[in-house]
Amino acid sequence: MPSARADRHWIVSLRTRLMLWNALAVLATAVATMLGLRAGVRIALVRELDQVLREDLREVELALHGRGNLDHSRVAEQLQRKAEGHADHQWFAQMFSTDGELLLTTSDQLPQELARPLPQERGELSGWRYFQRRLDTHPAVVLRVGMSTASIQRDLQRIDRLVALGVGLVLLIAPIGGFWLAGRAIRPLDAMINTVTHLRPANLEDRLKVRGTGDELDRLSVAFNSLLDRIGTYLQEHRELLANAAHELRTPLAAIRSSIEVALANQRSPQEYCELLQEVIGESAHLEALVHQLLLLSESDAERMRIHKDPVRLDAMIERAIDMFGSYAEAEGIELRCAALPQVTVRGNAQHLKQVLYNLLDNAFKYTPSGGVVSIELKLENSGWVQLNVMDTGVGIAPEELPFVFDRFYRGSRPPRSSYTVHRHNRSTGLGLSICRAIVRAHGGTITAAAGGRGGTVFCVRLPLDAGGLAPEAPAQQTSSNAAQRSGSAPHQSETPAARQASTEATRGGTAMELRSGAAPC
């Protein structure tokens, strides 16, 4: 039901609620003030009345003073005259004997309760206020004067009418004022809502207005705008990635299609068919690699990886990489150097971190000519970070290209070394380094590329250390390349802690493993 929804909307609207709260607060204050005023006025009026009665009593007493015997009729006459003078206040006087007998009264319209002496000297009874006293001069007589409180009631009623009028006015004005004030206060919110309502993924250009007052709403606008900026950047990156990925996929697809169409266009020898089909497989393999890397990239981008916070021994991982790449380096005439490895544990996804190391090594070997050096370095920093450097003495990356090497599908202009044989399914996808960056970032680290000291390039990965995995000191002894080989014995099972331990033992106290052509007795 739309109308019910509208009602509900009206009730929950911030403006309405502000208005109601405001009206309630004003009303409560007004009522309290007016009731207080009324009570004060009443007290003042009663006190004034009491003062009058006390003086009257004293006056009568003075008038009776010096008379030996009370002549009731004369006194009555006197009092009657006085009573008539105060008739509008219904003033009265009474005299009682000490036994309680009513000796005289100026009024016969008094209630029954006032027909005898009362225990209190003064008080109020059924709308009458009185003062009574046993006369000093005539101790056998009790004199009482009194007045009706009707005049006070009249005054109070007048005040009550004023109070009611005031409250009514407040009831009328407070919500209107509240509504206006609340409207003023939330007007920027309305503007925000309007702006935000019109935001669409396709159009995130609008920004909230910052009024420059520095209040909460301004801070909200600033925070929201920066969120929009971040979302915009993120979406932009993803849009580009998608477009780039589509373009990258297009090339092998085109090759596959044309190979097949060429194959079908004419009758051919089985040999020719074979060759064309081989081409198709080669291109499919490249497609596969692309898709695989795109998935890996999205996997690392998503923070899903943060779930695996298993301890990962970086030193053991490097040892295994040395075992893996060592023979290759040797065969290619490249020296693979590794300085002493401190024992380092970080938290993260072992498979992904391994990918980073292998990608960097692969990259280093790709651009380092025969006779060059690829070195790995693992350094503990004092501040709870570990630094993994992979350096090569290859062609090096031009300074103007350095900022872009981690961009997706970025392929620099440097040529791979001449002897590097590109296998049909490991043609560069241009994603390797961006995957490295995504993984390192997902682990809370940073990755940078810089020109190396001896030409070539240094890739530096910094990762936060696992709190419990700080190694106090790095081993410093010299060891032969056999250590590297021995340490390589564990890799297959090394997901188990025992094997990790074993492989550390092999290198603990080991340093400067060098695997170079002919140096290792393999």
Partner 1 sequence: MSSAETRAKETEPAVAKVLLVEDDPLLGKSVHRGLTEHGFDCCWVRSGGEAVRSVLEDTELFDAVVLDLMLPDLTGWEVLEELRNQNRGLPVLILTALGSVDDRVRGLNAGADDYLVKPFAFPELVARLLALLRRAELQAKDVLTLDVGPLKLNLVTRVVEREGRRIELTETEFKLLEYLMRNANHAVTRRMLCEYLWDADWEGVTNIIEVHINRLRSKVDRGFRQPLIETVRGVGYALRSR
Q: Which is nearer to partner 1, 173 or 277 (CB)?
A: 277
Q: Which is nearer to partner 1, 448 or 489 (CB)?
A: 489
Rule CB under 8 A: say whether 375 interacts with partner 1. Answer: no
Q: Shortest distance, CB of residue 283 to partner 1, whole angstroms?
A: 12
Helix/strand/coil (H, E, C) string of 331-389?
Answer: HHCCEEEECCCCCCEEEECHHHHHHHHHHHHHHHHHHCCCCCEEEEEEEECCCCEEEEE
First and final CA of the chain: distance in angstroms? 83
Could you say which DSSP state residue 39 is in?
A: H
Rule CB under 8 A: say whether 244 interacts with partner 1. Answer: no
Which of 425, 427, 441, 516 lies at the binding interface for partner 1 (CB under 8 A)?
Answer: 425
Rule CB under 8 A: say whether 288 interacts with partner 1. Answer: yes
Q: Which is nearer to partner 1, 22 or 349 (CB)?
A: 349
Which of 295, 398, 476, 519 lies at the binding interface for partner 1 (CB under 8 A)?
Answer: 295
Rule CB under 8 A: say whether 270 interacts with partner 1. Answer: no
Contact 481, 520 (CB under 8 A): yes
Contact 476, 433 (CB under 8 A): no
Show the tokens assigned to 385.
Answer: 């970070």
Q: Shortest distance, CB of residue 506 to partner 1, whole angstroms?
A: 10
Q: Which is nearer to partner 1, 130 or 365 (CB)?
A: 365
Q: Which is nearer to partner 1, 146 or 432 (CB)?
A: 432
| CA distances, 259 to each of 250, 282, 423 (Å) | 14, 11, 19
Which of 106, 349, 375, 457 lies at the binding interface for partner 1 (CB under 8 A)?
Answer: 349
Integer Cα distance of 318 and 419 in angstroms: 25
Which of 331, 383, 413, 518 lies at the binding interface for partner 1 (CB under 8 A)?
Answer: 331
Cα angle for residues 310, 316, 317 (degrees, 5° grid): 75
Return the CA Rg of the chain. 51
Sign of the alpha-carbon dihedral angle for 462, 467, 472, 477: negative
Stretch that binds partner 1, among 120-128, 158-166, 317-325, 449-457 (CB under 8 A): 317-325
Q: Shortest distance, CB of residue 323 to partner 1, whole angstroms?
A: 6
Which of 327, 387, 511, 517 lies at the binding interface for partner 1 (CB under 8 A)?
Answer: 327
Rule CB under 8 A: say whether 485 interacts with partner 1. Answer: yes
Integer Cα distance of 18 and 470 in angstroms: 56
Rule CB under 8 A: say whether 481 interacts with partner 1. Answer: no
Which of 78, 446, 489, 511 lies at the binding interface for partner 1 (CB under 8 A)?
Answer: 489
Rule CB under 8 A: say whether 416 interacts with partner 1. Answer: no
* One character per residue 493-512, x = contact with partner 1 (rule: CB under 8 A): -xx-----------------
Integer Cα distance of 478 and 514 in angstroms: 11
Helix/strand/coil (H, E, C) string of 391-411?
Answer: EECCCCCCCCCHHHCCCCCCC
Contact 93, 130 (CB under 8 A): no
Which of 18, 26, 268, 358 lies at the binding interface for partner 1 (CB under 8 A)?
Answer: 358
Q: Shortest distance, CB of residue 511 to partner 1, whole angstroms?
A: 20
Rule CB under 8 A: say whether 5 interacts with partner 1. Answer: no
Q: How many CA atoms lie within 13 A of 11 on its CB side?
A: 5
Rule CB under 8 A: say whether 325 interacts with partner 1. Answer: yes
Integer Cα distance of 359 and 342 in angstroms: 22
Rule CB under 8 A: say whether 354 interacts with partner 1. Answer: yes
Stretch that binds partner 1, among 21-29, 50-58, 322-330, 461-469 (CB under 8 A): 322-330
Count Cβ neighbours within 10 Å for each residue of 222-242 and write b for 16 or more, e otherwise: eebbeebeeeeeeeeeeeebe
Q: Which 3 state secondary structure label does DSSP give 446?
A: strand
Q: Which is nearer to partner 1, 213 or 496 (CB)?
A: 496
How many chain residues touch partner 1 (CB under 8 A)? 40
Residues 6 or more apart in contact with residue 360 via CB below 8 angstroms: 390, 436, 459, 461
Q: Which 3 state secondary structure label does DSSP give 185?
A: helix
Beta strand pairing status for 513-515 and 335-338?
antiparallel
Q: Which is nearer to partner 1, 190 or 495 (CB)?
A: 495
Q: Which is nearer to partner 1, 116 or 308 (CB)?
A: 308
Rule CB under 8 A: say whether 517 interacts with partner 1. Answer: no
Cα 261 versus chain centre, distance: 58
Rule CB under 8 A: say whether 153 interacts with partner 1. Answer: no
Q: Which is nearer to partner 1, 125 or 285 (CB)?
A: 285
Rule CB under 8 A: say whether 518 interacts with partner 1. Answer: no
Which of 26, 171, 249, 285 lies at the binding interface for partner 1 (CB under 8 A)?
Answer: 285
Rule CB under 8 A: say whether 47 interacts with partner 1. Answer: no
Q: Shortest distance, CB of residue 289 to partner 1, whole angstroms?
A: 8
Rule CB under 8 A: say whether 491 interacts with partner 1. Answer: yes
Contact 411, 428 (CB under 8 A): yes
Binding site for partner 1 (CB under 8 A): 281, 284-285, 287-288, 291-292, 295, 299, 308, 320, 323-325, 327-328, 330-331, 349, 351-352, 354, 358-359, 362, 365-366, 421, 423, 425-426, 485-486, 488-489, 491-492, 494-495, 522
